[in-house]
Structure 1
Amino acid sequence: MKKYIFKYKGIFFLSVFIRCVEGAADVSIAFLIEYILDFGTNKDMPGFIKNLKYIVLYLICYFLIIYLRKITQAVFVKKNIQSLRNDIYTNVIDKDMPDFISKNSASYISTLTNDINILEQDYFINLLDLIGELATLAIGTFAIFKVNVQIAAGVFIVGAITLIIPIIFSKTVSSLRKKYSDSLSNLTINMKDTFSGFEIIKGFNIEDSIKEEFSNYNFKTEDSKFKFTKFSAGVETLSQGTGFSIFFVAILLGTYFFIQGKITFGLLFAAIQLMNSVVPPISRFSERINKLKSTKLIADNIESICTKKELASNGISKDDFNDKIEISNLSFSYNSDKKTLRDINLTIEKGKKYAIVGKSGCGKSTFLRILFRYYDNFSGNILMDGTDIRNINIDDIYKIMSIIHQNVFIFDSTVKDNITLYKDYSDDEINTTIKLCGLYNFVNSKPKKLLENVGENGVLLSGGEKQRIAIARAIIKKTPILILDEATSSLDSETAHSIENSLLDIDELTCIVVTHNLSESILKQYDSIIAMKDGQIEEQGNFYDLLDKKGYFYSLYNVFK
């Protein structure tokens, strides 16, 4: 977190300076009171009237300093929290797929909300408060020594006990704070999953189970918060107790010296007032230190999120696909128990169309994910125009390939934004795309046309309309390679055939399509059909050659018929 403090060091040091000035002003109040009381004890009315305007001016300046302290703190916190949240969000977006899915997405939301709020209060604001109070303590200490050395010595002998408290309890406080942060994250994950699966919850009548599960997470969250609060309250009470002891030591010693005539009544009152500049900083010192230390594990979690993998941004630049993709001895497993892909050997030539078929779970979608660089921890080689795809800049891979998934995410925005994904395309490009994807009639039936809002995750769209938008996104990019993973499964037969035929007619486009639709009218148009079984390529050839073999594809086709 230190880098954020010094990222805006100008406003940081200005805020610290204002707090030091405020500390000096706090301490000077004691001498202002002494000054006023001395007028009273001496019954000096002319002097009192004469100096009244200076007292009023002092109070005006004092309140102005307080205002400036609050404003500079607000600017400092705003800049740091905004920068920190931007950095976290940017690093999450920049993660590669395996790194991203290693955590539930709601845990990132929790970090961007709950953890950020904790850091705002217990790190950034607390740090400024600590610095301000230490400045006040230093000035107050100097002042109390000027008033009476014996009183000052008594105060700091008792005050030394307070400084030991954060050392004793810091680890426990930090651990309890981390448990509370983790439980908040789990609660956020539960709520996100619940609201995302609302239709399933209602459709399968599992409201009671979901409520019970939420109640358990809610209890654990509040229980961990209570344990943290309870322990912190004990530490704070201990600190405040020693603080009050300091206060009473000052009163007792001050009264003793007043009785002996060594100090005036005004100076006695000043000494007692100075305790407001000494006692609170000492009594709150352990609380503030423990709060700072309690954020360490949260800061470590943010640091782990913001740790980038080198391969995500580095690599060989590649602008186009010119010849072929050569896949040799490709194997992959999600874990060490079982290989999902085994010894895949395949050549994908530019401009040709490939259909991948097979039973569910045979590795079709995994193969596409490997091709699209979701995972790099495979064995074997995938060479694009002679270059290992693991050595190609990941951003360039996504410029060369587009993938359309069966499960479509729709942004809560307009039809146009969901197709263009906020990039600039001409009206002609958009209109050509929506006609090709069967969206033209849908768009023109809406009052706002392309500017029609589709709702959260496309709640105002049908499944087929969502699928058409997903296809339109990929087509409008005009990438040389288009990958479809059951992309037309939610469409009616006529629309699916129309879109697929349109894609197959684009000469320069290389298509790799995973499909369960084994109709002759479509499959006969593909240059090659790849039949997969148990993570391997069982057969490969054109439609009629595979039928003549009467092998694995033949059996799949007969089941489909």
Structure 2
Amino acid sequence: MNEKISKSIYKKNIGLFILSCLLGIMTSILFIALAIILQKFIDYSINKDIDNIFKVTTVSVILLPLGAVGMYVGYAVKNLYTKRATLNLKNTLVENILRLDMRSFNKESNGTYISRLSNDITIIQNDYIKGTVEIFVQLAMLVGGVLAMFIINSFLALSILLTCIIPLAVSSIFNNRMQKAQGEVAEQNKNYVSFIKDILSGNQVVKSFNIEKEIFERAKAKANKQEKAKMVYENLLSLIMSLTDISTFLVAVVIFIVGTQQLMKGEITVGEIMAFIQLLNCVTVPINRLITGFTKRQASRALLMNFNKIGEAKTDQTQRIDIPKFSNKISLNGLSLSVDGKKS
């Protein structure tokens, strides 16, 4: 498959993509570091270690403003990357549409092209362009959070990790259904936009034949199909999000049960349990976002791959005449006129 259109997202933009991911990963590391700082602060406070409390407080005062600045810069860079990627995609798509010969162009209605340049690109921008950066960031936070947990207490970390696998496995079952649902939403969006465009451009004909009621009923039916497709997609998404929310509850239960047992045995400190609770957000939140984000990305990628079909369409240039550059006059040479076989 010719992937010229889909690859245009990264054209002269790969640097911003990498920088967006790196800045997001740095922010993730900051959240993990704050959990470790919290653990140290609590344990030093219980032991009344004033010197180390002062050191931890100093580190916190330095890290927090740096983190705030880093987060702002990260968002700004991601927004710039998203803007350039979307513009690249739009411009490449329009360029390929304009290059189509009339036969290829007329295979799709104008409403279809409008839907692709509006509805489909909006989905791709949110779920694929932004979503790809978000997946890298959340994956880094998940890996960092799990590593930090293993450093603090390997047994509790392993218990949490095994608990998280269950909702991941269950939610993966719905990936294909999500892709089909997203494709159906795009199809119904295309049909509705195309129909509305046709009835608006042919409004005079509608009024001439006095068929406003019939057209209105057809518009209602297409709108109903469009919203029904959206509802199916949203219900599937809600189901996946519910499964991931259950994982959050299960992990919290594991922390309290296993953590309490180890605390009673003296194998873990109060500060370490608090660190685990803080790191819980660095594990469960990324899992939730990775599941929904990856599912959305795969669904939007299917829309993006459809764009490549436009780039694959052949352009018939056999009847094209290239006119030389016009200077200051047009000359007609070797012409004659014949009337009833007589030249003049």
Which residue in the other structure is 2:124 paired with? Answer: 119
2:173 counterpart of 1:168: yes
Specify the structure having the higher radius of gyration (Cα): 1
Q: Residue 30 of structure 1 aligns to a residue in which SS?
A: helix
Report the equivalent of 1:212.
Answer: 217
Indicate the residue corresponding to 1:559 in structure 2.
Answer: none
Distance of 1:174 and 1:196 partners within structure 2 = 33
Task: Show the counterpart of 1:157.
Answer: 162
Point out where structure 1 has 5 or more consecutive residues left out of the alignment: 313-389, 401-422, 430-477, 481-506, 511-525, 529-540, 543-561
Deviations 1:380-428 (A, max 9, x none): xxxxxxxxxx3x6x352xx38xxxxxxxxxxxxxxxxxxxxxx9999xx
Q: Which residue of 2 aligns with 1:237?
A: 242
Kindly state the Cα deviation for residue 207 of structure 1 after the two structures are TM-superposed.
Answer: 2.4
What's the CA shift for 1:41?
2.3
Q: How does 1:256-271 map to 2 (within 5 A)?
A: 256-271=261-276
| Contact kept in structure 1, 2:167 and 2:244, CA below 8 Å | yes
Structure 1 position 57 matched with structure 2 position 62: yes
- Equivalent of 1:80 in 76, 85, 109: 85
Number of equivalenced pairs: 335
Q: 2:94 aligns with which of 89, 92, 103?
A: 89
Describe the superposition over 1:444-493 as per-residue Cα deviations: whole angstroms up to 9, x where unpaired. Answer: xxxxxxxxxxxxxxxxxxxxxxxxxxxxxxxxxx7x9xxxxxxxxxxxxx
Would you say 1:177 and 2:182 are equivalent positions? yes
Q: Which moved more, 1:141-150 or 1:234-243?
A: 234-243
- Cα distance 1:103–1:232, how it changes in 2: closer, same or farther (>3 A)? same
Percent identity, aligned pairs only, is: 25
CA shift, 1:7, in A, is 4.6
Matching of residue 199 in structure 1 with residue 201 in structure 2: no
Q: Is the 8 A contact 1:178 1:298 kept in 2?
A: yes
The residue identity in structure 2 corresponding to 1:274 is L
Q: Matches of 1:282 and 1:15 in 2, distance apart? A: 20
Deviation at 1:173, TM superposition (A): 0.8
Q: Are residues 1:273 and 2:278 paired?
A: yes
Cα pair distance change 1:3/1:89, threshold 3 Å: closer
Paired with 1:11 and 1:276, the residues of 2 have a C-alpha distance of 27
- Structure 1 CA distance, aligned partners of 2:159 and 2:326? 73
Which residue identity does 1:38 align to in structure 2? D
| Structure 1 residues 382-461: aligned runs within 5 Å | 390=318, 394=320, 396=322, 399=323
Match of 1:108 in 2: 113
Q: Please give the TM-score of this superposition, normalised by the length of structure 1.
A: 0.55
Task: Verify the 8 A CA contact 1:183 1:224 in the aligned structure 2.
Answer: yes
Using the alignment, how far apart are the partners of 2:146 and 2:52 within structure 1? 30
Q: Is the contact between residue 251 and residue 272 of structure 1 (CA under 8 Å) also seen in structure 2?
A: no
Q: Counterpart amino acid of 2:264?
A: I
Q: Report the aligned-residue RMSD.
A: 2.7
Counterpart residue identity of residue 233, structure 1: S
Deviation of 1:250 (Å): 2.2
Q: Do the aligned partners of residues 527 and 37 (structure 1) sit closer, same or farther apart at CA in structure 2, a change above 3 Å counting?
A: farther
- How has the CA–CA distance of structure 1 residues 86 and 425 changed in structure 2, closer, same or farther, with 3 Å as cutoff? farther
1:48, CA displacement in angstroms? Answer: 4.1
Write out aligned runs for 1:473-512 (5 A): none
- Map of 1:98 onto structure 2: 103
**2:288 aligned with 1:283:** yes
Higher strand share: 1
Residue type of the partner of 1:98? Answer: R
- Structure number with the bigger relative contact order (C-alpha 8 A, sep ≥ 6) is 2
Q: CA deviation at 1:39?
A: 4.1
AA aligned to 2:242 is T
Gaps of 5+ in 2: 1-5
